[in-house]
Amino acid sequence: MAVATRPASHWLYQLANTWLLLSYTNPDVLVLRLFLLLAGLCYVLWGSLAIGAIAVDTVVWNSVLTTINAYRATQLVWARRPITFEMEEHEEIYTEVFKPIGIGRLQFKTFMEQGLSRTLRSGSTFIEAGNVASNLTLVYTGQMNIMSSPKDGRPPQKVGSVHRMQVSNGLRSLYHLARKCALL
C-alpha cells in the first residue's frame, strides 16, 4: 500500500520552523528571543499570505507571541547596555569590592545613586557612642579611628581603626567591624 504524501509546506512555514530550531539550540537568552521573534513573524506572514485565506488564529496567536518576544528582547538589550559610573572612585569600589561578590553594575549604580558620598576632615566625629548606625559605610581613602569614651572623665582611647577597604578583606570583615563598632 502506498503512503500518500503532500508537497512540502510553503517556504515561510519552513523558515519559521528553522528559526524555532535555531532558538532551541542557542544558549543565549537574547538570541533565543530574537529567533522566536523571527519565527513568529514568519508564522504571521505565512498565516496571512501563504495559505490562500487568512488563518486568523495563526495570525493572532503569533502576533501576540511576537509582541511578547519583542518586549522581552528589548528588556534584555536594555539590561546589557554599558553602565558607567559618575565618579572614577565608584568604578574602583565596584571592581574591588562589589563585583567579586556578584553585584551587577546596574545594581551598584542604583545603590550609589541612593547613597551619600562625603569627605570628613581629620579629627571629625563620624558617629557618637549610643547612636545607631543604620547604614553601610565604606572608607574609600584614609583611615577612620574607633574611639571609646570612658565614663570616668578620662580622654577617649583608640580601640581600633578602619583603613581603606581591600578586596582580601571583603564584606565579611566590614560586617565584623560593624558588629564590633555597634558594641562600643
Cα(62)–Cα(44) distance, rounded to whole angstroms? 6
Q: Report pLDDT digits (tens) over 57-82.
A: 999 999 999 999 999 999 999 988 88
Model confidence at 164: pLDDT above 60: no
What is the pLDDT at residue 65? Answer: 97
Residue 183 C-alpha cell reads as 558594641
What is the pLDDT at residue 153? Answer: 67
CA 63 to chain centre: 30
What is the pLDDT at residue 137? Answer: 72
Decide if 149 contacts 164 (C-beta within 8 A): no
Model confidence at 119: pLDDT above 90: no
143 φ, ψ to 5°? -145, 145
Q: Report pLDDT digits (tens) over 80-114.
A: 888 888 888 888 888 888 889 888 888 888 888 87
Name the percent of the chain lying above pLDDT 70: 76
Mean pLDDT of 122-128: 75
What is the pLDDT at residue 167? Answer: 39
What is the pLDDT at residue 175? Answer: 40
Q: Is the pTM of this model over 0.75?
A: no
Model confidence at 22: pLDDT above 60: yes
Phi and psi based region of residue 122 (left: phi greater than 0; alpha: psi -120 to 50; beta: remaining): beta
Nearest CA to 36 out of 13, 8, 62 is that of 62
Q: What is the mean pLDDT of the chain?
A: 79
> When comparing pLDDT for 166 and 146, which is higher?
146
> Exposed/middle/buried for 36, CB within 10 Å: 0-12, 13-18, 19+?
buried
Decide if 140 contacts 89 (C-beta within 8 A): yes
DSSP 136-149: -----SSEEEEEE-
Cα(91)–Cα(95) distance, rounded to whole angstroms? 6
Strands 157-163 and 143-148: antiparallel
Q: How confident is the model at residue 142 (pLDDT cuts 50, 70, 90)?
A: confident
User: Of all helices (H) and strands (E), which one includes residue 158?
Assistant: strand 157-163
What is the pLDDT at residue 59? Answer: 94
